A and B are shown apart, each in its own frame.
Chain A
Amino acid sequence: MRYCCPTSIEEAVAILNTDEDARCLAGGATLVAMLNAELLSPSTLVSLRAIADLDGIRHTDSGITIGAMTRHAVVANDQRLNNGLTVVRLAAQEIGHPAIRAVGTIGGAIAHADPSADYPTALLAANAEVEVIGSSGARTVPAGDFFQDYFTTALAHGEMITSIHLANADPGTVSSYFKVARSDGDFAITSMAFCGNFDGSTCTAARVAVGGCASTPLNVTAVDKMLIGAELGSDQVTMAAQALADACDPIDDVRGSADYRRLLVKRLLPRVLQRAIDQGSN
């Protein structure tokens, strides 16, 4: 196994394109665990730690851009991620434990594409865009297209993630994130993220994402539409929750059964809506 530590994105892309079996090494939180368990043995590890352009959170006119190598702890503490983007900060706070958040990166987390992880669900609700680059140039992939299957992303061979872009939300947008896990800091049995707007307790815009209940985090346009005009506590929310649960395709595993996950989806929707409203009023 070869190790290289490029200092520019171009250099990294060049290596990824000459070595078919090369893998990017970001924070290592997941990749090194997989190396230790002999689940993975790439020919080359391309460490991204020396590429300064990949690190940090930038505020621009169009929104917020989080570099792929930005640590979870940095995202978790960035108060600029508020209103409609609070969901991303809340998700970062829920990842593992302090020592994991100190090294794990947003790019590494979404490249792994574990549907039970915190970021994918939150980024999907926030309608984030994943900026990727390869030998044929840069492109932007919406979060909804980025996660394609269990541990599978839209990254083509030779491509890497450079940043995650979060567009400015409409004024008054609120968001929330809630995870059910067996133990504090564990991966989700089911998680749910919400971004949207309310007029009092009536929802005027919604984007809901569910984690841990399918091969990818799940956003159902029809459910988002059902929520528009729905008042918290109304049958309309119950019906939307049912539709969302019906759209899930969870599995049974040691964290929980598929039935339980569907039940949680139904029951968590009112909670994430309420939390979003509470956040807006604070």
Chain B
Amino acid sequence: MKALDGIIGQSVPKLEARAKVTGTAVYTDDMFRPRMLTAALLGSPYPHARILSYDTAAALALPGVKTVLTAEDLPPNLIGHTFRDEPILARSKVRYMGEPVAAVAAESLDIARAALRLIEVEFEELPAVFEAEDAMAEGAPILHEDLGNYARVVESPFDGNVVAHIELETGNVDSVWEECDVVVENEYSIPAAQHLYMETCSALAEVDGTGKITVWSSTQQLFGTQMAVAQALGLPMSKVRCIAPSVGGGFGAKFITIEPITAALALKTRRPVKLVLSRDEDMISMRSRHAAKIRMKTGARKDGTLLARDTEIVYNGGAYADFSPVVLEAGMLLAAGPYRIPNARNVGRAVYTNRLRAGAMRGFGVMQPMFAGESQLDELADTLGIDRLDLRIKNAKQSGDKNMGSHYLPVCRVGDCLASIRAHPAFILAAADKGVLGKRRGIGISSVVQQSGLFSSSANIRLAEDGTLIVSTGYIDIGTGSDTSLAQVAAATLGVDIEAVNIVAPDTDGAVYDYGTAADRGAHGVSESVHRAALEVKERLIELTAEILECATADVELRPGGKLGLSGVPDIELSFADVAQRGLYVGGGPIIGQHAWYMQEQTIDPKHTRALGFRMGGGVFYGFAATAVHIEVDETTGQITVLEAWHAADLGRVLNPNGALGQLYGGVVQGISGALMEELVWDSGQLVNPTLMDYKIANSLDAPPEIHGILLENPDPDSPWGARGMAEPCIIGAAPAIANALADATGVRIRTLPLTPERVLMGLIAHED
């Protein structure tokens, strides 16, 4: 008899694959409603200015314009993920260039855009500050004079422009430098970059006859969006319904975007309103990854034993707090990397500046210190004369170890990740290939850690009349394959075919609750809820079957294919449909399973780690990985070509190999793209490259022709089926691996991203001198 859970570990085709390859998957901009209006937003022409007055009369008078909104037409409510510091249209002042100041709804996009040009706003320009270091300097222009009055879920030092300030120290860093035989200290710089999801932010809002607003949007977070719309407009959440249709990527940015203003326009006009940002509007006004400046110092004994690491990071948070405090916490928890370092101190600040807000981005908070740490590990290995892989494996954390704060690591196979790449036949060949003069080649390796899991999740499963499962969570599949893996978890728990599982589309009117698609929550955290809810369904099925068969529940067995029977008697068998209908029409009631939980953070043990400013906790789960690349450097031009890449993921257990590999390849290429060519550039507060012509991301010829994905299984004891997230770590390691490969090939060490041909060539020339 086949196993009930045989579907776990199978490359089940994605549930929505057919819709996506036929062009029938519906994204927000693909929806049209009767009498629908189109909206457009007016962006601020200044990075920092007081708003003195508005004149919207001419815009309102334009035929086809249905409404023009400014902050004066909206309740004075602020929203935000960590602090409520952000109005949905700039109120009294603007804090970055392009910040929405007014919104128009009109009969067509052309009319709406024409109306924007007729809106007059009088500004008084204020001194602006763009770099985090400058924003912390004495006398710097203050972005948020009311910082102390904002509602917030995390603490703030209320110190000028500093949004959050955290210090963590384990051991005693200052006391051990003398014991170190080698100490390496350097500064590293990471630019702001962008998520560059292919579908720009979009929303469609409609008010029904009862006054209830429905908002369809491209989002990673269903209930957070519902709450933000309600807060911003001063409505009870009972009057707001949010729905996520197909979502064209997110990577951490689509957490409350343009839904509140779209809803405000619909509420005002009482007509459906669609707002779709153009690519440049999206790039100018949504979110970036945090730029960061890092000073890092690592010390070791002659034999390579790491003794101490001291890290100081400043993250440029942009104009609003958004996820800055959470990003900072992640960085602070993990700046010491996946290594046993007895003395580690991490000091970090996130700072307001007059730039686009920085939010969460895949690899959040950790990508920055990992670039520094993994670069520095190679520098240390070279100084010590120890093999770079050996140094990592020697110091790698092991299962059962503690992380910063005394966080427990039940499973850690980072050493095995490194070893599996080292043993890969293609890697052995690549390591021997040093290229030719003028086109030298090298290999680079990094190993990384990311922490995952965040806040709450839940699931509800009802057994339908025909024995199929209706699974509801509110988790949004933004392209990660989570709908399919969650369906596999439900199917495996109850032994049914995948076709018997209906994953309910995310809708606040139907779904239970999930925090959002973030922090690798799906494979580990949300699947826990689905699994537990399915177990409850199983329990009810067995109880009702026992009643029908007039036997003890212990004698009822679940059989594959949605059947139950009397143990040891193959002929006595009921289908799920039989039992479901018995419950519905005879007695026992509907069969429903539920589970709800909070992904409890680990606390900071003060005996282990001294902590300042650390509030959220973090460390629900930890994930590890290693990345390697083989590159060629054109020494005439400075261009780097990634010839081949490896990524080994310590992912517990694989739910869906094709799904996991898709995430892995995508993360690695996104990491390579960021490392080689991505940087948002501002000039006096103006984003210089807000188009895909000017901001490049890797295309199929920039991506390496061969990526070797290694999925290392070792079931996580805390997770149903042993799975845990793997899509965050795979973006992190590419940048340091490439920087290390560059040093391997040429001896040139570059500590600033991206590794543009210009930066590389300047490095090569400096190295020759």
Contact = CB atoms under 8 A, between A and B. Distances in A.
A210 interface: no
A82 B651 CA distance: 54
B636 A254 contact: no
B21 interface: no
A73 B700 CA distance: 19
A263 B639 CA distance: 13
A180 B694 contact: no
B757 interface: yes
Given A37-B280, A182-B756, A264-B761, 12 more contacts: A180-B637, A182-B757, A183-B677, A183-B702, A184-B699, A185-B699, A187-B693, A254-B681, A256-B757, A260-B757, A263-B765, A268-B636
Given A254-B688, A264-B637, A183 B696 contact: yes
Contacts of B757: 180, 182, 189, 256, 260
A157 interface: no
A186 interface: yes
Contacts of A186: 696
A49 interface: no
A182 B699 CA distance: 11
Closest 7 pairs (CB-CB, A-B): A184-B701, A183-B696, A260-B758, A254-B689, A180-B637, A267-B636, A256-B758
A271 B636 CA distance: 9
> In terms of DSSP, what is the predominant structure of the interface of chain A?
loop
A263 B761 contact: yes
Given A182-B696, A183-B698, A257-B758, A268 B677 contact: no
B639 A180 contact: yes
Contacts of A256: 756-758
21 contacts: A180-B639, A180-B757, A182-B677, A182-B696, A183-B696, A183-B697, A184-B699, A184-B701, A184-B702, A186-B696, A254-B688, A254-B694, A256-B756, A256-B757, A256-B758, A257-B758, A260-B761, A263-B761, A263-B765, A264-B761, A268-B636
A97 interface: yes
Interface string B669-700: 00000000100010000001100011111110
Nearest to A270: B636
A256 B677 CA distance: 11
Contacts of A254: 681, 688-689, 694-695
Contacts of B681: 254
B696 A267 contact: no
Contacts of A257: 758
Interface in A146-186: 180, 182-186
B762 A260 contact: yes
Nearest to B700: A184
Contacts, number: 47
A185 B765 CA distance: 26
A183 B693 CA distance: 10
Given A180-B637, A267-B637, A185 B701 contact: yes
Interface residues of A, number: 20
B665 to A, nearest CB: 18
Interface of A: 37-38, 97, 180, 182-187, 189, 254, 256-257, 260, 263-264, 267-268, 271
A100 to B, nearest CB: 12
A183 B196 CA distance: 16
A264 B756 CA distance: 13
Interface in B108-132: 113
B637 A268 contact: yes
B756 A97 contact: no
A56 B353 CA distance: 55
Contact of A183 (B636, B699, B765): B699
> In terms of DSSP, what is the predominant structure of the interface of chain B?
loop
A37 B694 CA distance: 14
Contacts of A187: 693
A271 B762 CA distance: 19
Interface string B623-655: 000000000000011010000000000000000
A189 B638 CA distance: 12
B699 A97 contact: yes
B114 to A, nearest CB: 10
A263 B114 CA distance: 45
Nearest to B280: A37
A198 to B, nearest CB: 20
Interface string B727-769: 0000000000000000000000000000011100110010000
Nearest to A33: B693
Interface string B294-326: 000000000000000000000000000000000
A260 B758 CA distance: 6
In this complex, the member of A37, A182, A184, A271 whose beta carbon has the largest number of chain B beta carbons within 10 angstroms is: A182
A257 B758 CA distance: 8
Contacts of A189: 757-758
Nearest to A254: B689
Contacts of A37: 280
Contacts of B694: 254
A187 B691 CA distance: 14
Interface string B589-616: 0000000000000000000000000000
Nearest to B762: A260
Interface string B696-714: 1111011000000000000
Contacts of B762: 260
A271 B637 CA distance: 10
Nearest to A264: B637
Contacts of B697: 183
Nearest to B117: A38
A267 B761 CA distance: 11
A250 to B, nearest CB: 12
A184 B640 CA distance: 12
A53 B699 CA distance: 36
A267 B637 CA distance: 7
A119 B41 CA distance: 38
Nearest to A186: B696
A228 to B, nearest CB: 23
Contacts of B639: 180
B102 to A, nearest CB: 18
Nearest to B688: A254
Nearest to B697: A183
Contacts of B693: 187
A263 B757 CA distance: 12
A38 B765 CA distance: 43
Contacts of A183: 677, 696-699, 702
A166 B688 CA distance: 38
A176 to B, nearest CB: 14
In this complex, the member of B688, B693, B757 whose beta carbon has the largest number of chain A beta carbons within 10 angstroms is: B757
In this complex, the member of B113, B636, B702 whose beta carbon has the largest number of chain A beta carbons within 10 angstroms is: B636
A189 B756 CA distance: 11
Nearest to B680: A254
Contacts of A182: 677, 696, 756-757
A82 to B, nearest CB: 25
A36 B693 CA distance: 14
A184 B757 CA distance: 13
Contacts of A180: 637, 639, 757
Contacts of A184: 699, 701-702
Contacts of A97: 699
A104 B471 CA distance: 50
Nearest to B639: A180
A272 to B, nearest CB: 11
Nearest to B703: A184
A186 B677 CA distance: 12
A204 B639 CA distance: 31
A271 B439 CA distance: 13
A264 B699 CA distance: 24
A38 B681 CA distance: 23
Interface in B90-109: none
A5 B637 CA distance: 45
Contacts of B701: 184-185
A183 B191 CA distance: 18
Nearest to B758: A260
Contacts of A263: 761, 765
